[in-house]
Structure 1
Amino acid sequence: MFCKNLSYTPKYATLIATITALCLAIGKLVVGAVSGSVAVLASAIDSLLDVGISIFNFFALKKSEKPADSRFNYGLGKLESLAATFEGLVIALSGVYIFYTSCVKLISSHEIESLQYSLGMMIFSFCITFCLVWYLQKVAKKTNSQVIKADVMHYKVDLLSNGVILCSLAAISVSGFDKLDAILGIGIALYIMFSAFRLMRESVLLLLDRAIDPHIFVRVQEVLENAPITSYHALRSRIVGNIIFLDVHLVFHPDITLLEAHRISNSIEEHIRALDVSLIWEINAHLDPYDDSEFDVISQQGRR
C-alpha cells in the first residue's frame, strides 16, 4: 500500500532524497562526534553534501520543466545535465576531504569510543539508503531523468560505503585494530572520486550534445531502411534530459504528391517513437525530391 502511494516524479524523488539525507546526516554527526570514528564522520559529511545536492537538483528540475519560450526555444532541459555535473564535482571534493582526513587519522593514533552506537547508526543508515536507492531506481526507469540517474549512482556509492563501514566497525569491535577505520576511509575516498569522474564525464558529454546510444541509433536506421522512401541522409541526434532531438532528410520520388510524402513521414515518426515510449521524441524530418547528401557534412566526414 505504501509503494502504491509513492509518487514517481523526479521533483518528488529529490524531495524524498533531501529529507532522507538530512536525517542521516544529523544522526551520523552526533554518533561520529561521540565515537570519534573518522569513517562515520566522513559518511556524515557525505550525507550533508547530499542534502545540498538534492536541494540544488530540486530547483534545477523545477526550472528544466519550464516550457520553451522566445529566449530558450528548446527549453531548459540541459539544466539536468548541468546539475548532474555539479553533483559529480561536489562528490569528488568530498572524496578528497575524506582522503585527507583518513590520512591524518592513519598517521596519528586515535581510538574509537562507544562503538556500539556507531554500529547501530551504520546499520540504520544502510537499511534506509537501500530503500532510497530502490525508490530512485524506479523513478529513473520511469522518467529517464539524468538528475535522478546521477542520484542513483551517488546513493549506490553511499550504500556501498555504509556497508563497508559497517563491516569495518564490526571487525574493529572483534580485533581492536582501530587504524582499520582510517584505512577504510582512504578506500572509500578513492572509490568516491572514481565514481564522481564517471558521473561528470557522462553529464559533460550530454552538455556537448552527445548522440543517442548506438543500439537505439541502429534501430532508428532499421525503421528508415524499411520505410517506403528512396533513401535518407543527414541523420543526426542529441539528448536533452529525457528528450531526444532527431533530424533526418527523407528522399522521395519526384512524382510523389506532397500529401502522400507527408503521410509516409508521419508513419516513420510514429514507428521511431514506438522504439522507446518512455522518451520524448522531437523529430524534424526534411522531405527531399532528390538526394542532396553531398551537401551533408556528417556524410562527407563518414566517407573519409
Structure 2
Amino acid sequence: MPDAHRLNLSAGLASVTVALTLVAIKLWALGATQSLSVAASLADSALDLMMSLGGLAAILYAARPPDDDHAFGHSAAEDLAALGQAFFILASAGVIGMAALTRLTATDPVVLTAEGRGMLAMGLSCVITLALVLWQRRVAARTGNRVIRADSLHYLGDLLPNLGAILALWASAAFGLARLDAAIALAAAAMLAVGAVGIGREAWDALMDRAAPSEVIARIETLTRAQPGVLGFHDLKTRRSGAQLFVNLHIELDGRQSLHEAHAIGAALKHAILAEYPGTDIIIHFDPACLT
C-alpha cells in the first residue's frame, strides 16, 4: 500500500517537525516567564520529540517488504512502538498528575513574569499542535496506523496543559492567581491515561495475534456466503499486525469444475474482500464440497 505508506510517513515527519518547533517555542517562553506550567509543557514536548522519532523509525521499518526472515512483513514494529508509546503516555500522565497535586497543595504560589509573551508563545503552540492532530487523525482514519493514533492522542493531550498554561498566565496577570492550571492538568492526565490504556490494549492484542473485531469477521463471512460458486466455507482465521489485516479462509467448491473456474471464484472473493478492507493479506484454500 504505497499510498498508505506515504500518508503514514507524512504524518510521522510532521510529528517530528512540530515537536522540534514546540520545544524551541517553549524554551523561549520559559526563559521569558519562569512559569512552572510552561516548564512542564516544555518537558512534555521534549518527550513528544523522542516518541515522534521512535514512531517515525517504526513506520519506516514496518514499510519494509517481506523477506526470507519475515515472510509476513514487518508491520508488527508498529504495534511494538504503539505499546511503548502507551507506557510513555501513562508515565507522562502520572508525572503531570503528581505535579498538579503538588501545585494544588503548595503553600506559596509560583510568581510568574512576562505573562503576555508567554500566552502568545503557548497560543502559537496550541495552533500548531491542533493542526498536527487534525492531520494525524485524517491519516490514521485512512490507514489504521496505531503509531499515528497513539502519537495523535499524546499531542491532543498536550492541548489541555497548553491551555492550562495560558489560563494560568492570564490569571496571574489579571488576578494574581497561580494555581488555576492544576485542575486542568489533572483532567489532562486522566484523559491521557484512559487513551493510553486503549492504545496499549489494541497493540497488545495485535502482538498476541488476537482475531479481528467481530464486525469485520461477520462482514467477511457475509461476503463469502454471497460469492457465486461458493457452496460453503470453514476455518476462517483472522489476525492484525500493525495496520495490516490477515485473512485465512477455506472455501468449498464444486469439485467437478476446472481449476481455472475454481481459481476465478477465489479471485472474485478476494477482490470483494479487498474492496472493503484494502491492503488485506488474504489466503484462500479450495476444498471440494460434499455433493449428494
TM-score normalised to the size of structure 2? 0.88
The range that moved more, 37-46 or 123-132, is 37-46
SS at match of 1:232: strand
Give the counterpart letter for 2:246 in structure 1: F
Instruction: Provide the rounded CA distance (Å) in 2 between the counterparts of 1:32 and 1:289.
Output: 72
**Structure 2 match to 1:15:** 13
**Structure 1 match to 2:51:** 53
Deviations 1:176-220 (A, max 9, x none): 221223333333223222222222112112212232233332221
**Structure 1 match to 2:282:** 283
Instruction: Provide the rounded CA distance (Å) in 2 between the counterparts of 1:92 and 1:19.
Output: 23
* Equivalent pair of 1:45/1:94 in contact (CA under 8 Å): no
* Equivalent pair of 2:167/2:180 in contact (CA under 8 Å): no
Give the counterpart letter for 1:41 in structure 2: A
**Structure 1 match to 2:102:** 104
Deviations 1:110-163 (A, max 9, x none): 222222222112111111111111222232233332212222222222234323
Instruction: Provide the rounded CA distance (Å) in 2 between the counterparts of 1:29 and 1:182.
Output: 21
**Structure 1 match to 2:158:** 158
**Structure 2 match to 1:257:** 258
Aligned pairs for 1:5-44 (under 5 A) are: 9-44=7-42
Aligned pairs for 1:122-133 (under 5 A) are: 122-133=122-133
SS at match of 1:66: coil
TM-score normalised to the size of structure 1? 0.85
**Structure 2 match to 1:95:** 93
* Equivalent pair of 1:254/1:290 in contact (CA under 8 Å): yes
Structure 1 residue 8: deviation in Å? Answer: 5.0
Instruction: Provide the rounded CA distance (Å) in 2 between the counterparts of 1:233 and 1:285.
Output: 11
* Equivalent pair of 2:89/2:193 in contact (CA under 8 Å): yes
* Equivalent pair of 2:90/2:193 in contact (CA under 8 Å): yes
Shift of the 185–86 alpha-carbon distance from structure 1 to 2, 3 Å rule, reads same
* Equivalent pair of 1:77/1:240 in contact (CA under 8 Å): yes
Aligned pairs for 1:69-80 (under 5 A) are: 69-80=67-78
Deviations 1:28-70 (A, max 9, x none): 2342354343322221111101110111111111111111111
**Structure 2 match to 1:300:** none
Q: Percent identity?
A: 28
SS at match of 2:276: coil
| Number of positions where the alignment pairs a residue of Structure 1 with one of Structure 2 | 283
Instruction: Provide the rounded CA distance (Å) in 2 between the counterparts of 1:168 and 1:111.
Output: 11
The range that moved more, 25-34 or 113-122, is 25-34
Shift of the 185–142 alpha-carbon distance from structure 1 to 2, 3 Å rule, reads closer
Structure 1 residue 172: deviation in Å? Answer: 4.2
Structure 1 residue 168: deviation in Å? Answer: 4.3
Unaligned runs of 5+ in 1: 1-6, 292-304
**Structure 2 match to 1:180:** 180
* Equivalent pair of 1:8/1:139 in contact (CA under 8 Å): no
Give the superposed CA RMSD.
Answer: 2.1
Moved over 6 A (4+): none
**Structure 2 match to 1:295:** none
Give the counterpart letter for 1:45 in structure 2: A
Give the counterpart letter for 1:283 in structure 2: I
Structure 1 residue 167: deviation in Å? Answer: 3.7
SS at match of 1:280: coil
Unaligned runs of 5+ in 2: none
Instruction: Provide the rounded CA distance (Å) in 2 between the counterparts of 1:87 and 1:188.
Output: 17
Instruction: Provide the rounded CA distance (Å) in 2 between the counterparts of 1:88 and 1:176.
Output: 37
Shift of the 179–242 alpha-carbon distance from structure 1 to 2, 3 Å rule, reads closer
Instruction: Provide the rounded CA distance (Å) in 1 between the counterparts of 2:42 and 2:36.
Output: 10
The range that moved more, 125-134 or 207-216, is 207-216
